[in-house]
């Protein structure tokens, strides 16, 4: 089973991706980790990518896509879940062509849908329990709203992560994600159209529910 997952920052993509990975025993292949592996391991492609990154540029697709394919082949023999790539329309087309060329199937594409404002609130409203990382609190989500500014589960102090409060950085990432002309949503749409041809299953999940309700919907649609 080879799966691609799309979802904006704040949609719970990581959590849901992890459930899919466990269910099918897949290799979770995340785009950032692919770069770290190739660059850290000093592969030929990694060296080329590093030259761009050292100059402050993004590595071009003709280096990134072969790196991804190598990792999918080496680590994803029993199936993979690719997360964080493609980010735009051009990459979506190139990845699809590359998979075809390698005779690799794309069995399923999962898209977590969440309006931009909701995604931003999810990130900016997130609060961390000082005693337990697994106590979810969010000042913008009724179901997990803190109680009297303390953890709703255990009553411990809460804090916000600096990254979560960097509105400019969140907006920048969401500008790319929510761009339906040539950004990530355009890439998702590209695969949705392919799926209409019957080669790939396309699963859309409403990301506005609780983590549990999204998981239940996901598991029932996958099986």
Binding stretches for Fe ion (CB under 5 A): 129, 131-132, 135, 151, 153-154, 156
Give 69 or 129: the residue with its C-beta nearer to Fe ion.
129
Helix (H/G/I), strand (E/B), else coil: 3: strand
**Tokens describing residue 60:** 């071009």
Residue 95's nearest CA partner among 124, 119, 64, 118 is 64
Nearer to Fe ion, 38 or 126 (CB): 126
Measured from the Cβ of residue 68, the count of other Cβ atoms closer than 10 Å reads 26
CB of 14 to Fe ion, least distance (A): 20
Q: How far is the CB of 170 from Fe ion (least distance, A)?
A: 25
Shortest Å distance, C-beta 131 to Fe ion: 5
Instruction: Dig out the tokens for 181 from the structure.
Output: 């002309």
Instruction: Using alpha carbons, select from 214, 204, 139, 219 the residue that is nearest to residue 5.
Output: 204
Q: Where do we find the tokens 């949503």?
A: 185
C-alpha 125/C-alpha 164 separation (Å) is 8
Tokens 């990134």, residue located: 64
Nearer to Fe ion, 59 or 129 (CB): 129
CB of residue 156 to Fe ion, shortest distance in Å? 4
What tokens does 25 get? Answer: 């025993």
Q: Would you call the peptide bond into 86 cis, given omega within 30 degrees of 0 as the criterion? A: yes
> Closer CB to Fe ion, residue 33 or residue 153?
153
Least separation in angstroms between CB 211 and Fe ion: 16
């Amino acid at each position: 089973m080879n799966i691609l997952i799309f979802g904006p920052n704040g949609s719970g993509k990581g959590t849901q991706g992890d459930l899919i990975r466990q269910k099918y025993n897949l290799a979770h292949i995340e785009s950032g980790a692919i770069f770290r592996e190739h660059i850290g391991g000093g592969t030929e492609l990694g060296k080329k990518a590093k030259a761009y990154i050292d100059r402050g540029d993004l590595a071009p697709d003709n280096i990134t896509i072969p790196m991804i394919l190598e990792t999918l082949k080496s680590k994803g023999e029993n199936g993979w879940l690719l997360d964080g790539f493609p980010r735009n329309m051009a990459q979506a087309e190139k990845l699809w062509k590359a998979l075809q060329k390698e005779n690799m199937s794309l069995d399923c594409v999962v898209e977590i849908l969440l309006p931009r404002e909701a995604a931003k609130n999810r990130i900016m409203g997130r609060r961390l329990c000082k005693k337990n990382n697994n106590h979810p609190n969010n000042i913008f989500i009724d179901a997990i709203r803190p109680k009297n500014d303390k953890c709703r589960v255990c009553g411990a102090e809460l804090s916000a992560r600096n990254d979560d409060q960097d509105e400019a950085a969140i907006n920048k990432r969401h500008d790319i994600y929510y761009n339906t002309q040539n950004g990530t949503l355009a890439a998702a749409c590209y695969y949705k159209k392919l799926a209409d041809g019957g080669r790939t299953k396309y699963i859309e999940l409403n990301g506005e529910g609780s983590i549990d309700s999204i998981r239940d919907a996901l598991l029932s649609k996958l099986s």
